[in-house]
Structure 1
Amino acid sequence: MVIPPPVRPPRITEFLKPYVLKMHFTNKYVHAQVIHSPTPTVTASVSSQEKALRSSMGITRDVAAVAKIGKILGERLLIKDIPAVTVFLKRDQKYHGKIKAVIDSMIKAGVKLL
Structure 2
Amino acid sequence: MDKKKSRMKRALKLRCKIKSLNAVRLSVHKTSQHIYAQVISGDGTTTLASASTTQTQINANLKNTNNIEAATEVGKWIAKNAISAGVSEVAFDRSGFKYHGRVKALADAAREAGLKF
TM-score bucket (shorter structure): 0.7 to 0.9
More strand by share: 1
Aligned to 1:110: 114
Do the aligned partners of residues 36 and 73 (structure 1) sit closer, same or farther apart at CA in structure 2, a change above 3 Å counting? same
Q: Is the 8 A contact 1:29 1:49 kept in 2?
A: yes
Residue deviations 1:37-63 (CA, integer Å, cap 9, x gap): 315111100010112222111101100
Q: Residue 34 of structure 1 aligns to a residue in which SS?
A: strand
- Once the two structures are superposed, residues 80-112 of structure 1 have per-residue CA deviations (whole angstroms, 9 ceiling, x without a partner) of 121100011333x22211111111101100110
Counterpart CA distance in 2 for 1:15 and 1:28 is: 33
Q: Secondary structure at the match of 1:21?
A: strand
TM-score by length of 2: 0.77
2:58/2:73 contact within 8 Å kept: no
Rg: which structure is higher? 1
Partner of 2:55: 50
From 62, 65, 84, the counterpart of 2:89: 84
Equivalent pair of 1:17/1:86 in contact (CA under 8 Å): no
Q: For 2:103 and 2:20, locate their aligned partners in 1 and report how far apart those are by CA, in whole Å.
A: 26
The 1:90–1:49 alpha-carbon spacing in structure 2 relative to 1, beyond 3 Å, is closer
% same residue: 27
Larger helix share, 1 or 2: 2
Contact 1:22 1:33 in 2 (8 A): yes
| Cα distance between partner residues in 2 of 1:21 and 1:67 | 15
CA distance in 2: counterparts of 1:90 and 1:109, whole angstroms: 22
For the residues of structure 2 that align with 1:32 and 1:56, how far apart are their CA atoms?
18
Q: What is the letter of the counterpart of residue 102 of structure 1?
A: L
Q: Distance in 2 between matches of 1:64 and 1:89?
A: 18
* Unaligned 5+ runs, structure 1: 1-13
Distance in 1 of aligned mates of 2:20 and 2:32: 36
